[in-house]
Amino acid sequence: MQLDPLVKPRSVAIVGATDRGGPGRAVMESLGAIGFTGPIYPVNPKYPTVLNVKCYPSLTDLPEAPDIVVFSIRNPLIPEQMRLALKRGARAAIIYDSGFAELGADGAKLQEQIAGMAREAGMPVCGPNCMGILNPPARVTTYKQNIMDPAAIVGNVGIISQSGSVCIGLLSDLRRFGVSLSVSAGNEAVTRTVDYLEYLIDDPNTKVIATFTETVREPERYVAALDRAADAGKPVVVIKVGRTERTQRAITSHTGGLAGSSRVFSELLRAHRAIEVNDLDEMTEVLAVCQGKRWPHGRGISVITGSGGLAELILDNATAAGFDLPPLSKEERAEAESVIGRITGDGNPFDAWGNGNYAVNLPHAMSVVDKSERIHSICYCSDTSNDPVIGHPGRVYENVEMLTKAAGTSSKPYYLLSTRSGVMNRKQVDAMRQAGLVVIGGTRQGLGALDRMGRYAVGLKPERRIGAPPQARLADEVKGGRRTMNEYDAKRLLSAYGIPITREQRVATLAEATAAAQTIGYPVVLKAASDAIAHKTELGVVAVNLKNDDELARAFARINERLDTLKPRPADASFLVQEFVAGGVEVFAGVSRDPDFGLSLAFGMGGVAIEITRDFALRMLPLRHGDAEAMISETRGAALLGAVRGGQAADAKSLAACLYALADFVAHNAERIEEIDLNPIKVLPEGRGCVVVDALIVARPDAA
Ligand code: ADP
Ligand code: MG
């Protein structure tokens, strides 16, 4: 669909315009204020003029087909007016009113009636339940708020929000950036976030895109748009709330439920190089950083202050948030101290007060960190505000001068950091902007923006190359509607892809079990194996650490009895005799399918606690280079794999190899996988590898 008539219409008809107020009048006034030069057609049978502009009794009376029709009327009237708009050849429409799909079945029906007409005619529609569209560079607006100062709005940020209030929020503070297009998309009955996103990626006025999204429609197209934006070097900054459109499906594996959260969406954003933020503060800081002449090329941040207290505060916050504040090297410290005097701490944050001669010390501190390869952005922390009533007024400009000078001989971006987000001095902001520099705010939000932009610049590791598939294929195993696959069969399949599994034998009788145990060697584990039993412990059909024939016989009888109590006893039930893996750290790996975004891999420490602690790492599949190692180290429980309490460190290397092998299995069988649960994997001491002791595969039906 062509969006031009919607986002930059050359003529505007306003149905329901009156002198008395409402969105229609606001839009007419704003069109005047913004300098719109095309024709404006108020439509209202009650008046000969609106705001002294000739008013038409009906859309059918207009002298030309308007680019856009703006409906400033209540929702029951809209279907008929939409019909007339299409009849008159209108090319786009805006519906402000609410009371549609967001209110339930009746509203949804009305919305679909209108949307159906528009779609059939190929007409883009913004809304319903929206604020409209503001296009400052094109000097046109259908945004239903009054515009006071159009010049102050123009800039390079494209906003797409499913919430009108978020548009209001972002537009309420335009001190550090302006807008190339602001879309309040509302219920998106016809035209959707992804349509606007695609438009903005190609829009030369737009340098960065800010989105507020409750529902992702057309996930595949959305993901492709994110990739295209990243390739175009346009950051897409995303606040996501709520869940995706499709409802949660039933989940068989225990760990499968973990990925059913918004975590998958966060991972998806990371995998497609969008920048996720949690709130408007964080978003505003990222948008501000994008206004700088230079962007950070990496994550290393140097913070320079004249205060030991602030240095500590920033260090605490930055450490907790995982920002990269590399300390000064020995040589850098020596060079710094030769001028500044003694420096406390590790030099990042860099308290450059020293001997108190800050006019010399601060620039020297900057020159030292500027040369460091590990530093990609440099902040000077100094607080001020609009109309300061206390302090040294000249300092505001001295700081700008100092930063301008430092940046002038550097290839790195420099920032003035205010410790509070949103508190800044307007004149200072403007002076900084003149020099291509940016004021950021908030020890978490402002520095967080540098970290996010640094990550964005670093990009992603390449995807792993996946070898040729082994003979074993999941598709062959799950013919005929087989859904869950028992541990034994699942392990055979997985081991063909290089996943280490326990030594084990499947048997039917006690005599066979005893013979198997003697071959494997005591102690052993005895379990029931059946496609009908996804979780064995709950049913009492697992017996571990059996030391001799006697113990095995008793366990066999017990499990056999338990199977008999199942109604009916599963026809495929057999027994599994398996080596007992003593010691090691229990971890899990789980694959699950999000109905919108596909397969992801979760990894965490084993045991039931995972569902409470939710301490797990997640990645979208396929994995990229380094993903498995990163997943292992980023869980809080990773410490358990290291040497604790005099124990030996676990074999993390073989664990990473196991995760990659699992990813390979998924890559070769993706279309038939719903869930996989390797729980637990036992990680043995270094050099002894890891072994999957339990596995469950849930197949995806054929037709899917
Ligand atoms: P479930 O179907 O209930 O998940 P498992 O096969 O995972 O059954 O067994 C339950 C628990 O028993 C495991 O979490 C693990 O702690 C222990 N276990 C199972 N098999 C072995 C084994 N071969 N060696 C050591 N411990 C085992
Ligand atoms: Mg298990």
**Tokens 């001997």, residue?**
355
The residue whose CA is least distant from atom 19 of ligand 1 is 693
Q: Which of 505, 542, 683 to mutate to test the pocket of ligand 1 (most atoms within 8 A of CB)?
A: 542
Which ranges in 534-626 belong to alpha helices (H)? 549-565, 610-613
Residue 68 sits at the vertex; the CA angle it makes with 65 and 70, to the nearest 5 degrees, is: 120
Q: What is the DSSP letter of 478?
A: T
Q: Alpha carbon of 487 to those of 266, 630, 674, 692: distances in Å? A: 31, 28, 16, 10
Beta-carbon neighbours within 5 Å of ion ligand 2: 679, 694
C-alpha distance from residue 535 to each of 52, 484, 530, 569 (Å): 75, 11, 10, 15
- One-letter amino acid at 300 equals G
Atom 3 in ligand 1: residue holding the nearest Cα: 537
Structure token pair of residue 335: 């060079």
Cα(first)–Cα(last) distance of the chain, in Å? Answer: 29
Q: Which of 544, 681, 684 to mutate to test the pocket of ligand 1 (most atoms within 8 A of CB)?
A: 544
d(CA 704, CA 701): 6
**pTM of the predicted structure, to 2 decimals:** 0.93
pLDDT in tens, 5-30: 999 999 999 999 999 999 999 999 99
Question: What integer best gives the mean pLDDT of the chain?
Answer: 93
Q: Indicate which residue's Cα is closest to atom 15 of ligand 1.
A: 680
The tens digit of pLDDT for each residue in 100-135 reads 888 889 999 999 999 999 999 999 999 999 999 999
pLDDT on residue 181: 98
Residue 608 pLDDT:
65
Closest ligand 1 atom, residue 502 Cα: 23
Going by alpha carbons, the residue nearest to atom 11 of ligand 1 is: 537
| Alpha-carbon gap, residue 128 to 100, rounded angstroms | 7
Contact 305, 350 (CB under 8 A): yes
Residue type present at position 511: A
What is the reported pLDDT for 215?
Answer: 85
Written as six digits, the tokens of 327 are 């300390």
How much is the pLDDT for 262? 77
pLDDT of residue 467: 84
pLDDT tens-place string over residues 538-596: 999 999 999 999 999 999 999 999 999 998 999 999 999 999 999 999 999 999 998 88
- Type of residue found at 462: P
358-370 and 395-408 helices cross at what angle (nearest 10)? 30
Token pair recorded at residue 673: 């996988």
What share of the chain in percent tops pLDDT 70? 96
Q: Which ranges constitute the DSSP H helices of 177-279?
A: 193-202, 219-231, 262-271
Asked whether the beta carbons of 499 and 658 are under 8 A apart, the reply is yes
* CA angle, residues 447, 263, 156, in degrees to nearest 5: 45
* Higher-confidence position of 614 and 704: 614
Q: Which candidate, 471, 424, 475, places its Cα nearest to that of 445?
A: 424
Looking at the CA of 527, which ligand is closest?
A: 1
**Whole-number Å distance between alpha carbons of 336 and 350:** 10
pLDDT at residue 250, rounded to an integer: 54
Q: From ligand 1's centre to the CA of 536, what distance in Å?
A: 9
Task: Tell me how far CA of residue 211 lies from CA of 8, 226, 439, 647, 699, in angstroms.
Answer: 20, 12, 22, 49, 36
Tell me, what's the pLDDT at 606? 79
Torsion angle of C-alpha atoms 642, 618, 268, 278, degrees rounded to 10: -80
Mean pLDDT on 179-207? 97
pLDDT in tens, 564-579: 999 899 999 999 999 9
Ligand 1: distance of its center to the CA of 367 in Å? 59
Residues with CB under 6 Å of ligand 1 are 502, 525, 527, 535-537, 542, 544, 578-581, 586, 680, 693-694
pLDDT-derived band at 392 (thresholds 50, 70, 90) equals confident
The SS3 of residue 134 is: strand
- For the chain, percent of residues with pLDDT exceeding 90: 85
Q: Is 68 exposed, middle or buried (0-12, 13-18, 19+ CB in 10 A)?
A: buried
Residues 6+ apart with CB under 8 A from 407: 413, 414, 435, 436, 437
Q: Tell me, what's the pLDDT at 248?
A: 44
What does the CA dihedral 408, 409, 414, 418 come to, rounded to 10 degrees? -70
Do you know the residue count of the chain? 704
Q: Residues 157, 234: contact at Cβ < 8 Å?
A: no
Which residues neighbour 631 within 8 Å (Cβ) at sequence distance 6 or greater?
Answer: 601, 603, 617, 618, 619, 659
Distance CA 258, CA 611 (A): 7
Cα-to-centroid distance, 432 and ligand 1 (Å): 62
Ligand 1, residues 531, 537, 559, 697: which to mutate, most atoms within 8 A of Cβ? 537
Q: Determine the 3-state secondary structure of 228 from DSSP.
A: helix
- Tally of CB atoms within 10 A around 115: 23
Alpha helices by DSSP H, listed for 150-279, are 164-171, 193-202, 219-231, 262-271
